[in-house]
Structure formats: C-alpha cells, structure tokens
Structure 1
C-alpha cells in the first residue's frame, strides 16, 4: 500500500532539487501535493511532472520569508484539498562563502530570513492548520551544517542549527496533540545549491563531484531521490514513533 495514500502534502522549494524529488515521491506514494516555490516556472514544471505519473498537484507561489505569503499558501492548500496532513519545509538558500568577519550583513539577513525565519513561519502556519485536522507530520530541511561547522559558511551554519532547534522545540510542544516534527540533515546532494558552493569554493577548478565525492565515506554525493525517500517515510505511519529527531542523510559525513 502507498505510504501516504489519501494524504495532502505541502512541499516548499519544490521547483527543483530535493523539493521536486520530494513532491514527486509524495505523489507516487498516494498524496495530493501542493507544490510551492518562488520560481513559478520550476514549480509549474514539477506539477506537470506529477501529472505525467498520474498524480494530483497544484502550484502556489510563495516566499517563505513573508508571513502573509505563507498564510496565503496554507489558505490555498485548504481551499484546494480541505486539509493539510504532511509538510516538507525545504525552501532554502546558501548565500556567499566568506570568513565570518568578511560576511556582508545582507547575506546574513537573506540566509536567516529564508532558512530560519522561513521555517519558523511555515511551522506556525502548518501547525495551526494541523491542529484543526487533529494532527499531522512536518519535516524540516536542515543540513549537516546544522550539526557541525563549515568554515566560510557561518550564516548558513547558523540558519541550519536554528532549523534543528526549532524542530526539537516544535516536536516537544505538539507531540501530545498528534503532530510529529522532524528534521533531516543532508550531506552533499546533487543539486544546484551544491554546484554553487563548489563553484564558489574552487572557482570552477573542480567539478562538484571531484570536490565533494571524496569527502563522503560512502564515496559519492547523494541524490535528491534518496533524500525524498526518507522525507516521505517520516511523514508516513511507518514512522509513527519518530519525532524531535535531527537525522543525517549524508553518506557517513558527520560520522568521521
């Protein structure tokens, strides 16, 4: 039986990468999907891809750093499908690589605004709706940078540590009301974001795979689809005793 049959799932940042793979996996496992992104073209393309595999989805544009846009996103979700059962707060940005003393203030504000505040605002709105439903499941996208430090990425590291902290607190506050909240902490995953970080780090002297594959004990970076498998499992009844966890999916990176 499909893992999330009959459920309504929301995925932010679903216009590409992990978000797109997660939206497709939700659809393949029986959920109706609300695809959200600031990139309209990418989001609509994800909806079309879901349609091609026989799934059902709508696109709602939303900037997760705006409380009004997040609230509108939840309203449109309920208007379309009547409820919200599962949410994956995936939208995020990586920003610029530089030592902390050289980090521009606006880079910090951008990263914290999308990654930390955006997760906070989505949690607020999603939990409020799930309380009306009688429960639900939320998965936040953190990073191995939410577990350990990375020189040159202080704003990003701070934002992802914040995501893990918000996850733990929300899980504790709403466990008795039937809402589970977890975060996952991907290592290097084959996405545009990782390509950007590799380009900034090496100036194009090395490809993403040349730079990142050897850093992972498993010998390679991961795929968005591998991350999506974990996200949808966490949202399913199969993970009914899992809440408040910050789970690495990183090919052994943080075990080193």
Structure 2
C-alpha cells in the first residue's frame, strides 16, 4: 500500500461500526481505500458508510456475527465482488469479558469471548488468504491488546483470546512471508471508545486486577489506534512482519 494513500485498495475492517474500527475504516477511506465495513450493529455500520460516502469515499456495509462462517463468506464475497479482491484485512471486532478469574468464568462467557475475539479473526483470515495468495500480496492487521502481552489487563477469557490473536498473527507472518503477505497486530492500551465492562460485584477477578490497572496514565483516542493500523498496512511498513505493536503510552514498558 502506498505511503501517501490507499490508492483504491480493497480493505475489510471488522467491528467498524464504532470505536477503533470506525476510526480505522474512516482513516483508510480518507486515503482512498474502498472499505467493507463489517459489524454486528447494522445502524453503526450504515452510519460509517454514510460518513465515508459524504467525504467522497467508497464503502459498503455487511452486518452479522463474524464468528459464523456464513457471515465470513458474505464479507469476503462482498469485497471481491464490489472491489475486486482483498488487499488489507483488519480483524478488529472484539468483546470484553467480565474481568472474571478462571474459577469464575462460565462456559457461556468463555465460549462467546473466544469465538468473537479469536475464532472470528481466524475464520476471516482463512477466507481471504486464497485471494491474497492469488494476487501475490496482502496485509493482515489484527487488533490484539495489552491483555495479549500480560496477565493483568483483563479477565481470563479475554486474556486468553488476545494471547491467541498474538500467536495467530505471528504464525501467519512466518508461514506466508514468502508469499508476499504480511501480518502484524496493534496492542491497544486503555482507549476512549465508550466500551463498558459488566463486572460482577464482589468477584475475585476484578478485585485482583484492580491493583494492576493504575499505569495506563493517558487514554488513547480511537484515531491514534487507527493511525497505527494504517501505518502497519502501508508500504512504509513493508519490512515489518510478525510485530505486535503496543499503542499504550508506554504501559507495556512499565
């Protein structure tokens, strides 16, 4: 991807109806990319498409649960049919857990967090890879988390899911680096997105984590996370592969 613009590239951004995903889709569109805005929330996705088109860009919304293969296939087909392929995939969609410690995690919480945060990026990456391989190039940028770098930034399910995203990113980078495909991830720290966490009163997990969460200092803006993703997808990062980039005001260095 050009250092000066996305030059009509086809970009899929998941979780693009709000927060970091919204900022990322708009940042790519501002550089000339054609964006598939994928989100569970139809209203949010439509709003981002409207913003993009009002600014003279091109975007299309696809709604549904990305942990379902049918939705993954629809997102991929939309990019190929509308925009001619998939140049960049941004696996950003994710959900928080309840900050639950291992003994407190129910099957439903575990299953849902792993499916959305880890299985969905795997499914979509697997779906777009044939198109990238046929083109001889492509970029995948995943949204990991500080919780993918340490054990003290979220509950057990979210932490495990984001460690999995880190591993998926590195595996992809190694296995396809000779095919013209790069894979990297951002690891956001605290970011101002309006996400709330449903913490169970008196639970051990939130209490244990409380003493570890004081080093965030300044919350990032969603646009700062988006800028890092756009950079990793650009030619300026052409030799950057398999990197997990903290965007956290130095929290990972504490």
Q: Under a length normalisation based on structure 2, what TM-score does the superposition of the two structures give? A: 0.91
Q: CA deviation at 1:126?
A: 1.7
What RMSD in Å do the two structures reach over aligned CA positions? 2.0
SS in 2 for 1:117: helix
Which residue in 2 is equivalent to 1:221? Answer: 219
Which residue in 1 is equivalent to 2:243? Answer: 245
CA distance in 2, matches of 1:169, 1:105: 27
Gaps of 5+ in 2: 203-210
SS in 1 for 2:182: strand
CA distance in 1, matches of 2:120, 2:63: 14
Which residue in 2 is equivalent to 1:188? Answer: 190
Q: Under a length normalisation based on structure 1, what TM-score does the superposition of the two structures give? A: 0.90
Matched-pair contact (CA < 8 Å) for 2:153–2:159: no
Residues 21-53 of structure 1, C-alpha deviation per residue, up to 9 Å, x if partnerless?
Answer: 000000011111110001000000010111122
Change in Cα spacing, 1:152 to 1:160, as seen in structure 2 (3 Å) is closer
Q: CA deviation at 1:105?
A: 1.0
Q: CA deviation at 1:62?
A: 3.0
Change in Cα spacing, 1:74 to 1:213, as seen in structure 2 (3 Å) is same
Which residue in 2 is equivalent to 1:207? Answer: none
Change in Cα spacing, 1:105 to 1:48, as seen in structure 2 (3 Å) is same
Matched-pair contact (CA < 8 Å) for 1:188–1:212: no
CA distance in 1, matches of 2:79, 2:32: 17
Which residue in 1 is equivalent to 2:148? Answer: 146
Matched-pair contact (CA < 8 Å) for 1:212–1:220: no
Residues 70-107 of structure 1, C-alpha deviation per residue, up to 9 Å, x if partnerless?
Answer: 01210111111111101100010102222210111110
- How many residue pairs get aligned? The number is 244
CA distance in 1, matches of 2:150, 2:74: 35
Which residue in 1 is equivalent to 2:199? Answer: 200
Q: CA deviation at 1:67?
A: 1.6
CA distance in 2, matches of 1:132, 1:62: 27
Residues 199-226 of structure 1, C-alpha deviation per residue, up to 9 Å, x if partnerless?
Answer: 63899xxxxxxx999632xx31001000
Which residue in 2 is equivalent to 1:169? Answer: 171
Change in Cα spacing, 1:151 to 1:41, as seen in structure 2 (3 Å) is closer
- Structural mapping, 1:65-80, within 5 Å: 65-80=67-82
Which residue in 2 is equivalent to 1:206? Answer: none
SS in 1 for 2:220: coil
- Structural mapping, 1:84-99, within 5 Å: 84-99=86-101
Change in Cα spacing, 1:227 to 1:151, as seen in structure 2 (3 Å) is closer
CA distance in 2, matches of 1:67, 1:129: 17
Matched-pair contact (CA < 8 Å) for 2:11–2:35: yes
Matched-pair contact (CA < 8 Å) for 2:153–2:212: no
